[in-house]
Amino acid sequence: MTLQQTMAFGVLGATMALFIWGRLRYDVVAVLALLASVLLGLVPEERAFLGFSDDIVIIVASALVVSAAVARSGIVEGAVQRLAPHLSSVRAQLIVLVAAVTLLSAMVKNIGALAIMMPVAFQMARRSGASPSCFLMPMAFGSLLGGLITLIGTSPNIIVSRVREELTGEAFGMFDYAPVGLGLSLAGVLFLAVGYRLLPGGREAAATMGQAVDIHDYVTEARIPAGSTTDGQTVADLAKLGERDVKVAGIIRDKTKSAAPLADAVLREDDIVLLEGDPEALERVIKRAELEMEGEDRPTEGEEAGDEIGAIEAVIGPDSVLAGEAAGRMALHERFGINLIAISRSGERFTQRLRDIVLRTGDVVVLQGALPQMPARLRELGCLPLAEREIRLGGMRHTLVPVLILAGAMALTATGVLSVGVAFFAAAVLILLSGALPLREAYESVEWPIIVMLGALIPVSEAIRTTGGTDLLAEGLAALASGLPPHAALALIMVSAMAVTPFLNNAATVLVMAPIAATFATGLGFRPDAFLMAVAVGAGCDFLTPIGHQCNTLVMGPGGYRFGDYWRLGLPLSLIVVGLGVPLIALVWPMA
């Protein structure tokens, strides 16, 4: 072993040790690894930052933006919600949730798919009286399996595709992963439908600050516009859309109000309905019923070009100018450039228009306006913002636009018209231009620690190859695999990737393992495709710990899981992936 190889392995070993130690965040560890590689002369100074301009970084960042827009559209969530009333058993609900998040993960980043479906899981758990822990870990594992189906489902697929292009001149296509990924996903969903019983039941989730201030009795108002599907339906029909989470508190027709309307009361065009419920349920009903929310299309005064319009929950303070006043008399929109779109007062139900309600100290209100100006407006009004949580009530949602843009990007990539990087960068730009995702949310949707880690580790990974370290490791694996049949050699690579992923992060695992696997395959006289696929599958399937993948971490608190819970469901699933994945890969990608 040469001095440079020794130093390269030393940097790699120190990096893995810091990842396992966990005191430093993985992006900081990656930056330290890059700095050490430059100072030791393993990475030339002029190539130190080339990783940040790599296609992988652009593709991952663009895919995250597109994923966030699809999640915000609510189209998948709405489709599953329509099935929810027909699912009575926990197993039926689990199958639908896991299947939905698995298929969705093939189209958007798997952590984005999981985030979309988690609120639906909580609603189903509440309806059936089951613990959310029955659903959340199987959904997280389903999202990892679904990410194996397409090129953009997970970061390892994108990295493996680039390695193959460097080796053979041809990258993996958008759906080259599908035959193996679909087979593993189907087997995984079938196992999880019965395997969820291995999980401990009845665990309580960790409470969040958003839950601590959760308000369930907001009252808002919405108008039935021309062409709405609600025109001619009854109050009971409208309430059904909220799945008993929303009540119709009143109807205002021709300036005459009807308190506590009967269930069979018929709704008409231009009626104003007063709705009571939590913000998420209210938004769901308003969207499904095609209603126009009070103030949502009213421009705010003082709004500057590019300002994002959003809603903020706030409490009316003791010295607020709103206390003792009605919103209509205060002329909030004209004087302050904000809209009052919902009110909550503990222990009281409202039946009058929002503009006529006399506000009191302690009332919780949802105010809509230009977000950059909201802090100053709240101070001016004497209102105290609640703990930050996502409130979309009164926000515009472009249901089909992001889905159509995503479909177009996938089609252009699959047909070879555009490269993956260009297609998804263009898709992210179109998402922003269409207004389907506000610019602030676009920046928030990009996992910058992952981007920094990728940009920093790409040159480090390259240094291991240029110093001959990759060849050395491949020779060691080849010696270990000597005398093994081809399928066993393939299994060795997959298991190695699975074993490293919990400590390195799946993207970092592929950066290290993919070149090793390709050299290993060449040394044994095999084609590299199958072994690169094995790395992608192994790196994408960390089912044993909550730290190897963000999806596993995301459900740990909400599901009330402990570290040791993951292997109980994850170990048999890992064995299924290896047992089925190896012959599937060998069948689709012949090694000889």
Q: Beta strand 247-253 with 272-277: parallel, antiparallel or unpaired? A: antiparallel
Alpha-helix runs per DSSP H in 22-109: 26-39, 55-73, 75-83, 90-105
The residue assigned the tokens 């984005």 is: 112
Higher-pLDDT residue of 575 and 518 is: 575
Does residue 132 lie in a domain region? Answer: no
Q: What is the mean pLDDT of residues 375-401?
A: 71
Q: Residue 331: left (phi > 0), alpha (psi -120 to 50), or beta? A: left
**What's the pLDDT band for 558 if we cut at 50, 70, 90?**
confident
Tell me: do 583 and 466 sit in the same domain.
Answer: yes
| Residue 300: inside a domain | no
Residue 219 sits in the same domain as residue 332: no
465 and 567 housed in the same domain: yes
DSSP-derived 3-state class of residue 370: strand
Tell me the average pLDDT across 508-529.
Answer: 85
Q: What is the pLDDT of residue 577?
A: 96
Say which residue, 115 or 489, is predicted with more confidence.
489
pLDDT at 535 over 90: yes
Token pair of 512, please?
């290290």
In a domain, 62, yes or no: no
The pLDDT score that the predictor gives to residue 199 is 85
Dihedral class, residue 143 (left if φ above 0, else alpha if ψ from -120 to 50, else beta): alpha
In a domain, 155, yes or no: no
Please tell me whether residues 479 and 578 are part of one structural domain: yes
As a whole number of angstroms, the distance between CA 295 and CA 1 comes to 71
Mean pLDDT of the 67-91 span: 72
Q: Provide mean pLDDT across the span 384-403.
A: 65
CA distances from 200 to 89, 117, 184, 190, 206 (A): 18, 21, 25, 19, 15
**DSSP H/E element including 412:** helix 401-414
336 and 379 belong to one structural domain:
yes
Query: Does the residue 279 lie in any domain?
Result: yes
Q: Which of 385, 402, 430 lies at the terminal end of a domain, its last residue? A: 385
8 Å CB contact between 424 and 409: yes
The answer to whether residue 378 sits within a structural domain is: yes
Residue 581: which pLDDT band, with cuts at 50, 70 and 90?
Answer: very high
- Find which of 53-62, 113-122, 346-355, 531-540 is predicted with most confidence, using mean pLDDT: 531-540
Q: Tell me how far apart the alpha carbons of residues 158 and 171 are, in angstroms, rounded to a whole number.
A: 9
Rounded to whole angstroms, how far apart are CA atoms 592 and 587? 11
Above 70 in pLDDT, residue 547? Answer: no
pLDDT band at 32 (very low <50, low <70, confident <90, very high): very high
pLDDT interval class at 507 (50, 70, 90): confident
Mean pLDDT value of segment 362-384:
86
- Report the distance separating Cα 271 and Cα 269, nearest Å: 6
Q: Domain check: are 465 and 581 in the same one?
A: yes
The CATH number covering residue 336 comes to 3.30.70.1450
Burial 102-130 (b: 16+ CB within 10 A, else e): bbbbbbbbbbbbbbbbbebbbbbbebbeb
8 A C-beta contact, residue 329 and residue 274:
no
Average of per-residue pLDDT across 45-64? 82
Residue 377 lies in a domain: yes
Same domain assignment for residues 583 and 465:
yes
Tell me if 359 sits within 8 A of 323, measured CB to CB. Answer: yes
Q: How confident is the model at residue 210 (pLDDT cuts 50, 70, 90)?
A: very low
Q: Would you say residue 205 has pLDDT above 90?
A: no
Q: Is 89 helix (H, G, I), strand (E, B) or coil?
A: coil
Average pLDDT over the chain, rounded to an integer: 82
Q: Please report, to the nearest 10 degrees, the dihedral formed by the alpha carbons of residues 574, 576, 581, 584 taken in order.
A: -170
Of the ranges 346-350, 437-441, 540-544, the best mean pLDDT one? 540-544
Cβ 229 vs Cβ 285: under 8 Å: no
In the chain, the percentage of residues whose pLDDT exceeds 70 is 87
pLDDT band at 250; cut points 50, 70, 90: confident
Residues 485 and 576 in one domain: yes
**CA 538 – CA 430 distance, rounded (Å):** 34
Do 162 and 56 touch, CB atoms closer than 8 A? yes
SS (HEC) of 527-547: CCHHHHHHHHHHHHCCCCCCC
Closest of 567, 568, 573, 506 to residue 98, by C-alpha? 573
Reported confidence tier of residue 209, pLDDT bands at 50, 70, 90:
very low
**What number is the average pLDDT over the span 238-264?**
77
Q: Is the dihedral of CA 21, 50, 533, 1 positive or negative?
A: negative
Domain span at residue 527?
3-19+461-588
Report pLDDT for 207.
Answer: 46
Inter-axis angle of helices 133-146 and 178-195, to 10 degrees? 170
As a whole number, mean pLDDT of residues 195-204 equals 75
**What angle, rounded to 10 degrees, do the helices at 75-83 and 90-105 form?**
160
* Boundary (domain end) residue, out of 331, 365, 385: 385
Is residue 336 located within the same domain as residue 377? yes
Distance CA 516, CA 368 (A): 54
Residues 358 and 251 in one domain: no
Higher per-residue confidence, 12 vs 101: 101
Distance CA 149, CA 511 (A): 20
- Per-residue model confidence (pLDDT) at position 84: 65
- Decide if pLDDT at 56 tops 90: no
Q: Which helix (H) or strand (E) holds 377?
A: helix 374-381
- Asked if 238 contacts 227 with a C-beta cutoff of 8 angstroms, the reply is no
Question: If you ran DSSP here, which 8-state letter would residue 399 be given?
Answer: S
Residue 131 lies in a domain: no
What pLDDT was estimated at residue 81? Answer: 64
Output the CA angle 51-52-56, nearest 5 degrees.
75
Residues 42-53: what's their mean pLDDT? 89
- pLDDT-based confidence at residue 195 (cuts at 50, 70, 90): very high
Judged by average pLDDT, the poorest of 49-58, 60-69, 298-307 is 298-307
pLDDT tens by residue, 323-345: 888 877 777 877 888 888 888 88
Backbone angles phi, psi at 175, to 5 degrees: -115, 15
pLDDT above 90 as % of the chain: 18
What is the amino acid identity at position 179? P
Instruction: Quote the tokens at residue 307.
Output: 């300002």
pLDDT at 260: 67
Pick from 105, 54, 78, 142: which is nearest to 397 by CA? 78
Split into its structural domains, the chain has a count of: 3
Using one digit for the tens of pLDDT, what is the confidence trace for 450-467?
A: 788 878 888 887 887 788
Please list, in sequence order, all residues whose beta carbon lies within 8 angstroms of the beta carbon of residue 351, skipping any fewer than 6 positions away. 249, 250, 257, 259, 260, 274
Show Cβ contacts of residue 499 under 8 Å, excluding neighbours closer than 6 positions: none
483 burial (CB, 10 Å; 0-12 / 13-18 / 19+) is: exposed
pTM above 0.95? no
Distance CA 483, CA 486 (A): 9
pLDDT digits (tens, 9 = 90+) for 398-429: 567 888 888 888 788 777 788 777 888 999 99
Q: Which of 367, 385, 403 is the last residue of a domain?
A: 385
What is the Cα–Cα distance from 76 to 485, expressed in whole angstroms? 44
Pairing of strands 256-259, 364-370: unpaired
Does the pLDDT of residue 390 top 60, yes or no? no
**Are residue 278 and residue 327 in the same domain, yes or no?**
no
The C-alpha atoms of residue 285 and residue 186 are separated, in whole angstroms, by 33
**513 and 573 together in one domain:** yes
Average pLDDT over residues 210-222: 67
